């Protein structure tokens, strides 16, 4: 037996607790043997970790089924319902929210339209209503919430301010985390919306299991986000992903090809024009298809720059326009094939409009893990997440 003391032991314990929580989360009840196999820990270590997690409240023993004969093996599960998380997506045109348990399973969702030029307080009020709606739908109260994680359009500073937003002008300079903390008596996290969408795709979407992912957020405004070596890449000053700001990338005006297509009827609202063109292209309209081609010529410049620089395993096409993936995906692939040294997989998001709220929930789950299972002390009781704020 090695001489293990203090710091060494707690370091190992934390690693083991995190392995156990990750194996139990979303897996249903597991026996000690099954858990030992999934974590790679010895059975005695597994027992010890589970006992400690049960003692502080993260894990509980599941009663054996009534009809079981003989002495059944004890089974344990993660207490996913000892707290709740809310994910919010603040876009220029919609505010979405979803409430999930600590497994990340969604229990309720809401959506409200918003206008890009709406006053700041109207948008903040819409956020409050979106969360209230989720609480009502799921029969929870604000006291059940541990974390509210928000994805917003714009560049977010490390302390949760919006440094710049082109699509929601009133948002620029806002202390969004501060305003949300006044609203919700729990942990508040703020991150860029494209980044959260990328996280969701790499955790539960088409890029699940890929270590290096480029996420193209194709919508009225274009964004990009990176998963590198399995982790969300934020950059030194949390300003990563803004390649579209460079005029030579040809993203700033790319959507004009769709908006300005000759077939769009004059009475169409400006925010619906691109969608009209994409729909016409899906029906085979040659003028619309031509406009989509020119749009993709521009989109492909920035996409090729990212693919050549990072050599990702997968490029995911997500955001509002990805509903038209059937007319976008193959032509984008062709354009990338002309530029790339090694061609990545090019896949359309399957999470669709939900990707940012789901990413916000995944981000909140990651944050809980960091907070409770990687500190220097032993595992913190779940209640500490609420009481320590």
The nearer residue to a copy of itself, 166 or 329, going by C-beta atoms, is: 166
Q: What φ, ψ does residue 258 adopt, rounded to 5°?
A: -80, -45
Of 65, 69, 139, 248, the one binding a copy of itself (CB under 8 A) is 248
What ranges in the chain are assigned the alpha helix state H? 6-24, 32-39, 43-56, 120-138, 176-183, 193-204, 256-259, 270-282, 286-310, 325-339, 355-373, 384-387
The nearer residue to a copy of itself, 187 or 298, going by C-beta atoms, is: 298
Cα distances (angstroms) measured from residue 198 to each of 37, 167, 215, 260: 30, 20, 5, 29
201 binds a copy of itself (CB under 8 A): no
Q: Sign (positive/negative) of CA torsion 306, 302, 115, 355?
A: negative
44 binds a copy of itself (CB under 8 A): yes
Q: In 262-278, which positions are buried (b, 16+ CB within 10 angstroms) versus exposed (e)?
A: eebeeeeeeeebbbbbb
158-177 binders of a copy of itself (CB under 8 A): 163-164
308 binds a copy of itself (CB under 8 A): yes
The nearer residue to a copy of itself, 242 or 256, going by C-beta atoms, is: 242
202-241 binders of a copy of itself (CB under 8 A): 210-212, 224, 226, 228-229, 231, 233-241
CB 238 within 8 A of CB 221: no
The nearer residue to a copy of itself, 19 or 277, going by C-beta atoms, is: 19
194 binds a copy of itself (CB under 8 A): no
Q: Report the nearest approach of a copy of itself to the CB of residue 304 (Å).
A: 5
- Binding span for a copy of itself by CB under 8 A among 95-103, 120-128, 195-203, 298-306: 298-306
The nearer residue to a copy of itself, 352 or 378, going by C-beta atoms, is: 378
245 binds a copy of itself (CB under 8 A): yes
Q: Report the nearest approach of a copy of itself to the CB of residue 15 (Å).
A: 8
Q: CB within 8 A of 277, min separation 6: which ones? A: 258, 259, 261, 263, 264, 288, 291, 292
What is the full DSSP assignment across 151-170? EESSEE-TTS-EEE-SSSGG
Tokens of 1: 């037996």
Alpha-carbon gap, residue 117 to 123, rounded angstroms: 10
Q: Report the nearest approach of a copy of itself to the CB of residue 1 (Å).
A: 7
Q: Report the nearest approach of a copy of itself to the CB of residue 158 (Å).
A: 11
Binding site for a copy of itself (CB under 8 A): 1-9, 11-13, 16, 40-42, 44-45, 47-48, 155, 163-164, 210-212, 224, 226, 228-229, 231, 233-246, 248-250, 301, 304-306, 308-313, 339, 341-342, 344
């Amino acid at each position: 037996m090695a001489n293990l003391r203090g710091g060494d032991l707690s370091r190992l314990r934390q690693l083991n607790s995190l392995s156990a929580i990750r194996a139990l989360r979303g897996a249903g009840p597991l026996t000690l043997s099954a858990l030992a196999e999934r974590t790679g820990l010895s059975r005695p270590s597994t027992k010890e970790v589970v006992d400690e997690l049960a003692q502080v409240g993260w894990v509980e023993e599941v009663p054996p089924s009534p009809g079981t004969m003989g002495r059944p093996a004890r089974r344990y599960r993660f207490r996913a319902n000892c707290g709740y998380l809310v994910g919010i997506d603040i876009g220029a045109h919609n505010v979405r929210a979803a409430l999930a348990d600590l497994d990340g399973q969604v229990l309720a969702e809401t959506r409200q339209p918003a206008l890009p030029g709406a006053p700041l307080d109207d948008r903040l009020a819409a956020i409050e209503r979106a969360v209230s709606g989720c609480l009502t739908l799921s029969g929870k109260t604000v006291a059940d919430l541990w974390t509210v994680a928000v994805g917003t359009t714009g560049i977010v500073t490390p302390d949760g301010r919006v440094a710049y937003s082109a699509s929601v002008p009133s948002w620029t300079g806002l202390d969004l985390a501060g305003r949300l903390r006044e609203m919700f008596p729990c942990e508040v996290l703020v991150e860029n919306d494209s980044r959260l969408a990328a996280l969701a795709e790499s955790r539960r979407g088409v890029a699940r299991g890929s270590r290096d992912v480029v996420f193209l957020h194709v919508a009225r405004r274009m964004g990009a986000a990176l998963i590198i070596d399995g982790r969300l890449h934020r950059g030194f000053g949390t300003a990563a992903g803004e390649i579209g700001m460079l005029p030579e990338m040809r993203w700033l005006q790319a959507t004009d090809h769709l908006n300005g297509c000759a077939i769009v009827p004059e009475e169409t609202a400006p925010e619906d024009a691109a969608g009209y063109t994409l729909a016409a292209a899906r029906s085979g309209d040659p003028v619309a298809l031509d406009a989509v081609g020119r749009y993709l010529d521009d989109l492909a410049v920035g996409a090729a720059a990212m693919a050549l620089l990072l050599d990702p395993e997968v490029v995911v096409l997500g955001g509002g326009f990805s509903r038209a993936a059937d007319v976008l995906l193959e032509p984008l692939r062709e354009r990338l094939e002309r530029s790339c040294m090694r061609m990545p997989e090019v896949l359309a998001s399957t999470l669709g409009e939900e990707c940012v709220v789901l990413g916000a929930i995944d981000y909140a789950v990651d944050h809980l893990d960091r907070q409770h299972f990687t500190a220097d002390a032993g595992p913190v009781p779940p209640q500490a997440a609420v009481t320590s704020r």
